[in-house]
Each structure stands twice: as structure tokens, then as C-alpha cells.
Chain A
């Protein structure tokens, strides 16, 4: 295999592994703040128990996110030197602001949040919890600004083949940023909702009936039920934004080859890029036109529009985009069904009397957010191919001149480590759940006193 392909697989492996953990910590930080504030207000022990259990998960996820993130920051230089050489004047300041406004804030106050409860006043511990949550969100903001700019670059000018920043406002608030950011923040919220619901269901199934478990279960299900309709709305708006700025990506997502009206929404198909058609199509007539144009006769762009005169294909590979999009939407629908069914069952029977099969289903969906998030990122990132920065820089232009054997050896090492760590991470989460999160120290320890 050549260096380009190996470098791409390596970056994909790194970033896929990395994003799993920020997806948890971004929202879990705010959830911890919520638990802490509830405890401050009510003084009820279950909120502190919840805090103490989930802060462990937060610490573990945070560590995995940090170390895999450091790997990524080095990969820019080791494997993709062309990226910073060409767009460094835009990407550089955005990344610098992420380090300055987010990384240090998170790292320093995490220490106080985890180990400082008995050493600092209660308000400072709550403030530290807030600053950690704020830091993770700032980090998400800067990185999504950069990623969105790579999809919909604005506010820059090219001089001698190098991008120079012209208008920082236009760069930061580039056309796809608000949609991509909200879509990702909601994805993080949903991932955490199902993580909390799933592990609480698992503990409930094992006979742990402490108030902490029931409250966790209720919290996760309600959070999921509230966020999923918002996410469907945000996803739809993001799709319309993509249609405007990257129509070839939407064409691949829909598996639509010919531009035209009354385009069906395909539920199943095997896109065949050699024959430039789909096999075994099953679809709902005109629904894609309705979703994208809000009109059954709406004209939706097709992939054949993105082939140059000389036959060069200018659209992304179809099958991976088509399928990852369907996986994302499918998991989203499953989340809708599960959280709304859960909300209904809780209303009818109470959170401590949910049927066993339902709890088993929730346990199975503990990491559903990860699946949807990864599938969504694959859709948008593969959908940008062959570009690295849409219309400015291709992936091929950015790759570094490293011997392919060297890339292969590091790739294999990373993959081995990532698989081992992922197994250890999931194993430890369920181990913590089996152990229970009982907070055994006296509730009256100095940092934990409820605010009077």
C-alpha cells in the first residue's frame, strides 16, 4: 500500500479513537455540574453519589481524550506537513486558541475538581467543575470552527499558493460552523444520555436499587428524549447547509446519480461506482426531494454532475458515504424510539419498575452514541474527498514524504494499542458499574457541604 493510503488510514484510526472520548467529556462535564448543583441545592445524597460515580468515568475518558489528542497534534507534522504549510495561517491561530483557552483550563481545574474537594471551599469546587465543562466546550468550539472552515472555507485569500487570513470573523463564522457545532454538541449530549441510561440499566438489572441508579436512569432517559428531536432538527438543517455548499456530498449520501426531481429516499441500495448506478434499490418515492427541497418535485443534484469532461471523478466515494449516513440515521431513530418509549414507561410505571427486556435493550445501547457519532463523522469527512480543504487543498497534496513501511509499522502499533485500550475502557466502565458508585465518606466532609 502507498504512503497516502496508509497515512489516511492512520489519521482515520487516530481521529476515530480520539473523538470517542471528547464526545463523552463535552456533555458529561455539564452533567456533572448539574449533579453538583442539585446536591448543593437539595443536599440529597444521591446527587453526590451520582457525581462521584460519573466523575470517575469523566476522569478516565478525559485521560484517554488527552493522550489520543496529543497524538493527533503531532500527526499534522509527521504525516501531513502540506496541511500546515498551505493553510497554517488559518488553522494555526484556531488551534493555538484551542490550547490557550481550553486545554490549560481543563487540565488545571480537572486536578482541583478530582482531588480538591476536601482542600478548597465548596464554591471553588463547583466553580472548578464549571470551568472544566466550559473548557471542553471551548475546545469543541475551536476544533469545529477549524473543521467547518475545511468544509466551507471563507474569509481567506491565496497568495503564492499559501492561504492567508483576510477576515477572521468570516473564517470563524464560516457557513457550516453553526450547524456542525450544534450537531456535534447535541451528539455529545445524546452519547452521554445513553451512556448514563445504559450503565444505570445495567446496574438495575444486577439488582442495584439505590436511589442513585433510579435517578441516573431517569436522568439519562429524559435527557435523551429531550435532545433527540432537537438533534433531528439540527441534522436536517445541517444537511440543507451541506446541500448548498457541498452538493456532491449530499448526492453521495442519497446515492443519487442523476440530477432531477421526485428523488426517492433510499432505505437500501448497493451503490456501484464502476457501473455508476445502484443495485437492489428499496426506496420511498420522492421523499429525498421532500426532505431536501420541501417539495416532491424538488430537483436534487446527482453524482453524474460531478464528473469532469475527461472522466475525472470529482465526487467522494459513494458507498462509504451512503452507508455511514444510513447507520447514523438508523441509530438516531433507535434512540428516538428507546428514549420516548422509556419516557412513556416511566410515566406509566415509574423509573424503578421498567420491564427487564427494555433495560437489557438500554444496556445494549450504552455506546449507541459512539456508533452514530462515528458514522456521522465518516459521512461528512469521506464526503469531502478528494479535498482536505474544500476547493483549496487535496489530501494528496498534503501528505508527507515518509517511507510507506514506516507508516505501516506505526499504524499497526497504534491500532493494537487502540483496540487494547478500548477493550480496557469498556471493561472498566462495566467494572465500575458492578462495584457501584457508593460515596462512602461522610457527607459532611468540608468541600461537600450543601450551600446554605
Chain B
């Protein structure tokens, strides 16, 4: 029904889109969790309210991404996940803690609220760190040697900082008053971590992989790639200028840090995707070698083409319904 050469490409692209959506969307609500220790109790309630209607659907993009890996590239799925056994387990425990703490903190007896807040923070931190660690290991070719583990510990911290940054940007967008001013300060602190993290990954990646080095610095591709780092640098500069002026009197530009952080993540993502293509298990399996049977991919694609626009449609509907500043979270 579909061409066996293009199908794996389409699924790699779909998986890429899911991962990107996940990193941006769950990124901001994980970030909100990471910022919990810096917020007062009433502020925490408001921060939770700002992500309440969204976090569940945001997390579903991870399920879709891992689902596509599972169904479209079953061999790669096994290879990658057995190599990342421990960080995956840590991430899952983090996701469990944070997902349930979100519900329990509002429903448990009042005295139990603080421990659940701590669990929410710990779960967010474990999730972010484990994901950053896995990203590092993936860049390094899923190879458990000390220098590579050390590098991955670095990316773990970098991703946690990036999530905190976009989380702070979300709070700037969704709140006002003292909490919004506080979030601007968080973002100012986080932006340096963001620059360092993205910079470190960008420098280390071509150094460990001759193939990626060649891909980045080969003429004429380097001309086409040059806008990526240049745009990122420009965005960081604009962000810094904006954060110094925020919040403005009429709340204009409150959207800017979040939008800029999103674009930064998109740029970083395209850099990564370009570097790894056509491999799905770095340096080992290409997307064509790992792809599932054509008839199975075809039947999934038909459903995806019908359903994905609907999913995007009602996801946007939810963001429209819950637009504006977050208020008290209640069921009525």
C-alpha cells in the first residue's frame, strides 16, 4: 500500500514530532515541578493550577513516541531500552511519583500535603535527570564507559536546567503579580545553565563521533547549518533582554520567554535529528534496518493520518479553553 522506502522515513518523522512535542510540553510541566522548592505553599497551588488541565495529555506524547519506536522499529526498541535499563527504571519511578503526587497532594489529609509536594519535586527531578542521562548516552552511542557516563551525567543536569527554564517561562505566561516576578528571576538564573548545557552538548557531540563531525563541518552543508547556532545565539540574546524588562506594566511580552524557549528546543532538536539521521541506534542500525513489516506500518499509518489531526485539534481546544492566567484549581 505504501512504499517500503518511505514508510520508515515517515515513522521516524512522526516519532521525531512526538519527542519534540513531549520535550516542549512535558518539559514545561516537569520544569514547574523542579521549581517547587523555590516557591511558597500558596504559590505552589497556583503553579499546579497552571499545569493541571494539561499534564496528563502532555505525558501521552511520551507514550506515543515510545509506542512508535516499539511498533515501527521493534528491533531498535529492544536494543535501546535494554541498554538504558537503569535510567529507564529511574525515569519510570519518577513519572509514577510525580503523577500520583499531583493527585494525592490535593486529596490527602491536609497534614500530608508537604510530603506529597516533596514527592512531586523528587519525581519531576528524577524524570528530568533520567531523560537527560539517556539523551547523553544516546548521543554517546549507548556505551557504558566512565567518560561517557560522566558526559551523560552532565547532560542530565543540562536537561533538568532546560526544563526548569521552560517551566519558569510557563509560569511567567500563566501567572501575574509576585509569583510572576519570582518566575522572571528563576528564568534569569536558568538561562545560563541552558546556554552552558546546549553549548557543552554541541561541542562534545562532533568530538566523540567522527561521522557527526564530518556531517557538521563538511562544505557545503556547513553553510546550510550555520543558521542553527546563529539563530540560537540571537534568541538567547533576545531572551536575556526580554527577561530584564519583564514583567511589563500591561503584561505584554509575557508570552515571549515561553515562545523563545520553545523555538530554542526546536532548533536543538533539529540539530540532533540531522546529526543522527539515518541511524536509529547510533552507528549501528539505520531506520530501514530496524523498521517493522511494511503491511504493519501501512495499517498504523492509515490510522495515524486520520486520528493525529483530531488529536492535535482537541489538544488545541484544551489550550484555548484553559487560556489566560491560571486561577485556583477546582473541579467546579
Report A's interface with B, CB cutoff 8 A.
Answer: 52, 55-56, 59-60, 62-64, 66-71, 73-74, 76-78, 81-82, 84-85, 88-93, 95-97, 99-101, 103-105, 107-112, 114-120, 162, 164-165, 168, 400-402, 406, 410, 413-414, 417, 421, 424, 427-428, 431-432, 439, 441, 445, 447-448
Could you say which residues of chain A place their CB within 8 Å of the CB of B74?
Answer: 84-85, 88, 92
Bound Cα distance from A276 to B98, whole angstroms: 49
| A439, B332: Cα distance in complex, Å | 9
B residues near A441, Cβ cutoff 8 Å: 332
Q: Are B67 and A115 in contact (CB under 8 A)?
A: no
B102 at the binding interface (Cβ < 8 Å): yes
Contact B67 A96 (CB under 8 A): yes
A107 to B46, CA, bound (A): 21
Contact of B78 among A85, A114, A417, A448 (CB under 8 A): A85
Tell which of A85, A99, A401 touches B60, judged by Cβ atoms closer than 8 Å.
A99
Within 8 Å by CB of B296, from A109, A165, A401, lies: A165
Known: A71-B92, A100-B303. A115 touches B293 (CB 8 A): no
Total A-B residue pairs with C-beta atoms closer than 8 Å? 213
Q: List 25 A-B contacts (CB under 8 A).
A: A52-B332, A62-B56, A69-B63, A76-B70, A78-B89, A84-B70, A88-B71, A88-B74, A89-B293, A95-B67, A95-B71, A99-B67, A100-B64, A108-B318, A111-B318, A117-B331, A119-B322, A162-B293, A165-B295, A401-B82, A410-B85, A428-B107, A431-B107, A445-B332, A447-B332
Contacting residues, chain B, for A111 (C-beta < 8 A) = 52-54, 56-57, 318, 322
Q: Are B89 and A95 in contact (CB under 8 A)?
A: no
Q: How far is the CA of A228 from the CA of B44 in the complex (A)?
A: 45
> Is B234 an interface residue, CB under 8 A from the partner?
no
By DSSP majority rule, is chain B's interface helix, strand, loop, or mixed? helix
Cβ–Cβ < 8 Å partners of B77 in chain A? 76-77, 81, 84
Chain-A contact segment, one of B163-171, B209-217, B274-282, B307-315: B307-315
Residue of B nearest to A115 (CB): B53
Q: Given A97-B303, A108-B314: A164 and B293 within 8 A (CB)?
A: yes
Given A77-B81, A81-B78, check contact A64 B100 (CB 8 Å).
Answer: yes
Q: Does B330 contact A (CB under 8 A)?
A: yes
Whether the pair B103, A60 counts as a contact (CB closer than 8 A) is: yes
Point out residues on B near A: beta carbons under 8 Å. 52-54, 56-57, 59-60, 62-64, 66-72, 74-75, 77-82, 84-86, 88-89, 92-93, 95-97, 99-100, 102-104, 107-109, 292-293, 295-296, 299-300, 303-304, 307-308, 311, 314-315, 317-318, 321-322, 329-332
Closest approach, in angstroms, between the C-beta of B194 and any C-beta of chain A?
Answer: 27
Contact of A402 among B66, B82, B93 (CB under 8 A): B82
> Once the chains bind, are B108 and A424 in contact (CB under 8 Å)?
yes
- List chain B residues, Cβ under 8 A from A117: 331-332
Residue of B nearest to A81 (CB): B78
Q: How far is the CA of A165 from the CA of B71 in the complex (A)?
A: 13
Q: Do residues A92 and B292 form an inter-chain contact, with CB atoms below 8 A?
A: yes
